[in-house]
Amino acid sequence: MINYLIDAGRLTGVLEIIDLGAGTGANQRWLAPRLPFQQCWIHLDHDSAISRSLPLPDGTMIIDGSVEALEPLLAGSTGDHRVVACSALLDVLTMGQLDAVCQALIGNQVPALLSLSVTGTLSISPVDPHDQRLLDAFNDHQRRSGRAGPEAVTLAVDALCAGGFTVRTQETPWQLTAASDSMFVEQLLQERLDAAVAQDDSLAAAAKAWFELRRVQLRLGVLKIEVGHRDILALPGGSSGLASRGEVEHGAEVTAQIEPLHGSGQGIRQQIGAGEPYAGNPVTYQDRSRRQVEPIEYTGGQEI
């Protein structure tokens, strides 16, 4: 995906990157070194305490506000080279907020790299009879209070294609094994179970037994998990100027990004347990290792 963004940019000036729900700045720490041109980062986040909790590179601007502030921010900007970015955000937005983001991009003809949206899929081995029921409850919890949840990518792609954008999507799953950080794996599983039980409290006993079983399997080195995520690259107009499919296949793989867990105790996806829709909470751990490199392109709502 980054190859497409680089090729579409072909910049001689400074690229202004507006990072939605930026949190502690994890997305900037991962993406900035991989873009071969000058950058100016603007963090848009509702939570002023979290957005200022870690040091940021010189020149980074922080704006306190929700995603609805994107439209006036883009409309009021005079820069020629802009891109909107986010990471692990779209699925926790309400459908109204997600549409507002898409319409802001369309109305101002600004490209976007929207990363790590949960797709609702979870592959786990060894298989357990409770896997699907717990997954269904988790996904239903993601949809609560009008959130986009697992349908976020589809909704965003449809809206952006309808607005004339060329859209490419790419699978970017988390692939976790016993070789991964065990604390992270356990926390990820526990937070997903907490969400599932919050959605359906009849699952409490099954969830507790399931978690203990998975902890044992993790210690024995037999547990394998793949959590589905998908990235979106959205570019105004047609696909001219994009890198070829072969260039992406040979150039898009990246090294792992390991961000520390947030020191004040926020979870991997603090939004899961929140009583209200997205308010700018961060996702501070992102592992982009072993990414898939087969993008899917859509233009005007049609898959190419």
The C-alpha angle with vertex 113 and arms to 156 and 151, in degrees rounded to 5, equals: 25
* Low-confidence residues of the chain: pLDDT under 70: 1, 4-12, 78-80, 238-304
| Beta-bridge partners for 295 | none
> How far apart are the C-alpha atoms of 176 and 252, rounded to whole Å?
20
In this prediction, residue 180 carries a pLDDT of 93
Q: What is the pTM assigned to this prediction? A: 0.78
Cα atoms found within 13 Å of the Cα of residue 296, Cβ hemisphere only: 14
Kindly state the DSSP code that residue 246 receives in the 8-state scheme. H
DSSP H helices, 109-151, are: 131-142
> How far apart are the C-alpha atoms of 265 and 53, rounded to whole Å?
12
> How far apart are the C-alpha atoms of 208 and 189, rounded to whole Å?
11
Yes or no: say if 114 and 165 are a contact pair by the CB < 8 Å rule.
no
Cα atoms found within 13 Å of the Cα of residue 160, Cβ hemisphere only: 31
Domain of residue 177 covers 2-303
| Cβ within 8 Å of residue 129, ≥6 positions away | none
In this prediction, residue 80 carries a pLDDT of 67
pLDDT in tens, 192-234: 999 999 999 999 999 999 999 999 999 999 999 999 999 999 9
**Packing angle of the helix pair 95-108, 152-162 (nearest 10 deg):** 30
Yes or no: say if 291 and 252 are a contact pair by the CB < 8 Å rule.
yes
> How far apart are the C-alpha atoms of 51 and 188, rounded to whole Å?
22
| Beta-bridge partners for 83 | 17
Q: Residue written as tokens 């001219």?
A: 240
* CATH number of the domain within which 299 lies: 3.40.50.150
How many domains does the chain fold into? Answer: 1
Kindly state the DSSP code that residue 149 receives in the 8-state scheme. G
In this prediction, residue 38 carries a pLDDT of 84
